[in-house]
Amino acid sequence: TDLRPPVISLALLPGSGLFMAVLVQMTITGKSFIGANMEITLAANLTAKTQLEQDTTGIPRFSLKNCHITLVSVKTNLPSSMLPKVMSKFLDSTLQKVLPGLLCPAVNAMLNLVNAKFTAVTSEIPLGTAGTLQYVLLNPPTTTETFIELDLKTILHQKEGEEVDLPMDQPSLASLPPKRDASSQLILSANFLSAELSILQASFNLDISNNMVLGLPPLVTTMLGDLIPEISSLLPPSQPVVIEMRETKAPVVTITPDKSFVQLFSTAEFRVSPSDSAPESLFVLDV
């Protein structure tokens, strides 16, 4: 009739998985052995050990290794004179048999919810329309006193389905910044970021026209002549200009302890775009 919110304590077991202690308080009602209504108010401590492993599909998974129930206190509404010691022991032993079947399945249900979240680790992630990203667990999870480490391999596919070659340059844990308490940390290598940007390389291509550059002077040949006087005599007067930005090679990411850099290599082709004829190239800049 009454089940109070459980008090849950969790701890990581180095090399194993998770230790769980749950204080459960509840009231059970029914008929006593003499036919009267009886209430049993009890407190029990559930302890469980779980193993964090890698299943056959390569996904992290918690499994229940053992589950124990210890009675902390048992009280009834029957007078003590009606509850001799032999009956009290019988009640305790009955509860010890009943409670594991009542409470331990709840631990399994909770682990199933967590394991369902883990399935997203290896699901394919679209990178817009340029390709896909997928993680694969390289080794079984590592559990320490303070964190769980997942060693992941990243698989990148271009939109045509071809896999992008990605060097395995995993940093050692000793070289990583100290982990903050109660936080998750995702470590990405420079090579991975470069490869991911290379898949998105075509996304950096764009055509810049007046409609895209708000608050600047109109993109016309006269403006170019003012910026670069050396070419002013070669430009047709007051013609609209379109700048075609095209990535020429894969981006490069560099990470140092102090700064990170992303280099994008492109060309900017300036084209005259008269209304009565085809666009004509004026010049190309390396950017």
2-120: CATH topology is Bactericidal permeability-increasing protein; domain 1 (3.15.10)
Q: Identify whether the C-beta of residue 3 lies closer than 8 Å to the C-beta of residue 26.
A: yes
CA angle 164, 132, 175 (to 5 degrees): 65
pLDDT for res 154: 87
For the chain, which residues make up each domain, given as ranges? Answer: 2-120, 188-286
221-255 as b/e: b if 16+ CB within 10 A:
bbebbeeeeeeeeebeeebbbbbbbbbeeebbbee
What single-letter DSSP state applies at residue 236? Answer: P
**Mean per-residue pLDDT over the chain, rounded:** 85
Which residues lie below 8 Å from residue 246, measured CB to CB, with a gap of 6+? 205, 266, 267, 269
User: 């407190």: which residue's tokens?
Assistant: 43
pTM: 0.67
Q: In this structure, are strands 206-208 and 280-286 parallel, antiparallel, or unpaired?
A: unpaired
Three-state SS for 179?
A: coil
pLDDT for res 185: 82
Tell me the pLDDT of the chain (287 aa) as tens digits.
788 898 999 999 999 999 999 999 989 888 876 677 888 888 999 999 999 999 888 899 999 999 999 988 888 877 666 566 656 676 778 888 888 898 899 999 999 999 999 988 888 999 888 899 998 888 899 998 888 888 888 889 988 888 888 876 665 656 666 777 777 888 888 888 998 998 888 888 998 887 776 677 778 888 888 888 888 888 888 888 889 999 999 899 998 878 899 999 999 999 987 777 788 898 899 99
User: 């006269």: which residue's tokens?
Assistant: 222
Q: Identify whether the C-beta of residue 132 lies closer than 8 Å to the C-beta of residue 156.
A: yes
pLDDT for res 115: 93
Question: Quick one: tokens of 142?
Answer: 């590592």
What single-letter DSSP state applies at residue 76? Answer: E
Residue type, 37: N
Cα distances (Å, whole numbers) of residue 84 to 32, 60, 87: 13, 51, 5
Q: Identify whether the C-beta of residue 27 lies closer than 8 Å to the C-beta of residue 41.
A: yes
Question: Quick one: tokens of 75?
Answer: 């009280």
Q: HSE-up of 213 (CA within 13 Å, CB side)?
A: 13
